[in-house]
Amino acid sequence: MTLKVPENQTIVIFGATGDLTGRKLLPALYNLFVQSLLPQDFAVVGYSRTEMTSDEFREHQAANVAKYSRTGLDPEAWERFARHLDYLAGGFEPEGAMHHLAQHLEEVDAAIHGRGRRMFYCAVPPSLFPKIATRLGEEGLNQGGRIVMEKPFGFDLASAKELNRQLHEVFDENQIYRIDHYLGKETVQNILVFRFGNSIFEPIWNRNHVDCVEITAAESIGIEGRGAFYEATGVVRDIIQNHLLQVMSLVTMEVPASFSADDIRDEKSQVLRSVRSLDLNDVANHCVRGQYRGYRDEEGVAPDSQTPTYAAMRFMIDSWRWQGVPFFLRSGKSMAAGRQVVTLGFREPPLRMFRAHKQDIPAGRVNEIVIDFADPGSISTQFLAKEPGAEMILGAASMQFRYQDSFCTANSLEGYERLILDAMLGDQTLFTRADGVERLWEISAPLLENPPPVEPYAPGSWGPEPSLGRLVAPFHWHLSST
């Protein structure tokens, strides 16, 4: 995972006028450029239906970069970067619709000595992914090219399988990059380093020591005007099926044979295969769904909507390492706080030497490792210590690692920067393989096919608390109001 500079190439962005391109992709490319992580020569070609000139495209994107880039916009750097940008208007229908793009790319490739190295980034509605692949194949642009697919990859297991089939008609699996931007986070990648780069944590990372694991991605904001999108998606498809199950696979996978893309993806797939399937008729005992009060009044939301803005679920993993340890995954909007946290709760010591002082031990679990994977991220451990003084009184103590205390964080890459750079380098480690994405849908299928009804919860709370308490018992949530 050391930083290398990719070879000269062209990046084609389908959906160049869209929200994702403006808020994430162009700022990420600009920041890679500023950090000298882009090749000596490269071209970024924007493509969508809206008619505009390349100058207008550059102007439009300068405003986006100024607004959304984490380093802001330096006019001199932008001026140098913008020379690499141009724009072509066009669609994906009918057959031959991308012929002018193919011709344009020939010229661009010759100018930058790209030797046909091209990356096609699909930042368009997912229904267009197969059409794009077909058109690229017709023009021969699949030869030596890479295709980056945004989420969601499919809508359920059947559609994900069908999309994989359609893509494989044109591209080999090693040309396909399915993005999950959570995996681009420094803090998520650090889970592997924390586990496998140290000898003090891995020996206790199993059922003998861990009694439960909680993975939370909570947002304090609501749906922010994206009613139509959210109604069609819901929290399970938006966050749990992809991001949280991915994080769970990193927390639970076995040690890979090497840090190569396939060895890591093999181990992730292996542990996902061990996730116990939920019985379609028993989903309600493993899942709580909620909807914040006021959601149905948002624009684009049905007055009787059953779309969950919150879900919590319990998974079991039938593996030697994790047998019997419950994994609680939850995500929600309009929550009490915006937090992204993995908590490993450890078993009680076999003998309480300090029983006489139990009333002084804080309520809840005594030993925890808490990985906060919201940027900039931290890892802390909770344990008991003797409070200073004449009496043997125990108090809760913690040790904490924070990125900014140990490292210069100026060089850290934002998720999309990391993933775009890796795709340009041809490194698939952080991208999801076909079998992985299908397994993620398979695990989630019962939650989508036979879900329990949504329960209302107060905005600014931790969700529908009584049901959550029952789901998690005899444990309790690390983050909650109780």
Return d(Cα 121, Cα 77) in angstroms, integer.
Answer: 24
Q: Which CB atom, from 131 or from 347, has the smaller least distance to ligand NAP?
A: 131
Which of 33, 57, 81, 92 contacts ligand NAP by CB under 6 A?
92
**Whole-number minimum distance, CB 279 to ligand NAP, in Å?**
31
The answer to the question of residue 49 lying near ligand NAP (CB under 6 A) is yes
| Catalytic member of 60, 84, 243, 286 | 243
Tell me if 19 contacts ligand NAP by CB under 6 A: yes
**What is the nearest approach in angstroms of ligand NAP to the Cβ of residue 145?**
18
The dihedrals phi and psi of 479, each to the nearest 5 degrees, come to -105, 110
Shortest spacing between CB 84 and ligand NAP, in angstroms = 19
Quick check: 348 binds ligand NAP (CB under 6 A)? no
Smallest distance, Å, CB 411 to ligand NAP?
Answer: 25
Q: Is 48 in the site for ligand NAP (CB under 6 A)?
A: yes
Measured distance CA(12)–CA(88) in Å, rounded: 10
What six digits make up the tokens of 77? Answer: 């750097």
For residue 180, what are its two tokens?
Answer: 């999950």
> Of these, 66, 102, 128, 204, which contacts ligand NAP (CB under 6 A)?
128
Residue 124 makes contact with ligand NAP by CB under 6 A: yes
* Cβ contact 343:327 at 8 Å: no
Q: What are the φ and ψ backbone dihedral angles of 141, each rounded to 5 degrees?
A: -80, -10
The Cα 258–Cα 79 span in angstroms is 42
123 touching ligand NAP, by CB under 6 A: yes
Q: Give CA–CA dist 477/482, Å, rounded.
A: 9
Nearer to ligand NAP, 243 or 265 (CB): 243
What is the per-residue burial (b if ≥16 Cβ within 10 Å, else e) of 46-83? bbbeeebeeeebbebbbebbeebbeeebeeebbeebbe
Q: What residue type is assigned to position 32 of the chain? A: L
Nearer to ligand NAP among residue 309 and residue 461 (C-beta): 309
Judged by CB under 6 A, which of 125, 197, 324, 453 binds ligand NAP? Answer: 125
- Does position 17 bind ligand NAP by CB under 6 A? yes
Strands across the sheet containing 310-316: 394-402, 378-386, 368-372, 339-346, 210-218, 326-332, 310-316, 287-292, 454-457
Site string for ligand NAP, 137-176 (x = CB under 6 A): -------------xxx------------------------
104 carries an active-site annotation? no
Using CB under 6 A as the binding rule, whether residue 91 contacts ligand NAP is answered as yes
Residue 253 tokens, joined: 């996978």
User: Is the separation of the CB atoms in 340 and 217 below 8 Å?
Assistant: yes
Beta strands in 186-281 (DSSP E): 210-218
Shortest-Cβ-distance residue relative to ligand NAP: 18
Binding site for ligand NAP (CB under 6 A): 15-20, 48-50, 91-92, 123-126, 128, 150-152
* Residues annotated catalytic, as ranges: 243
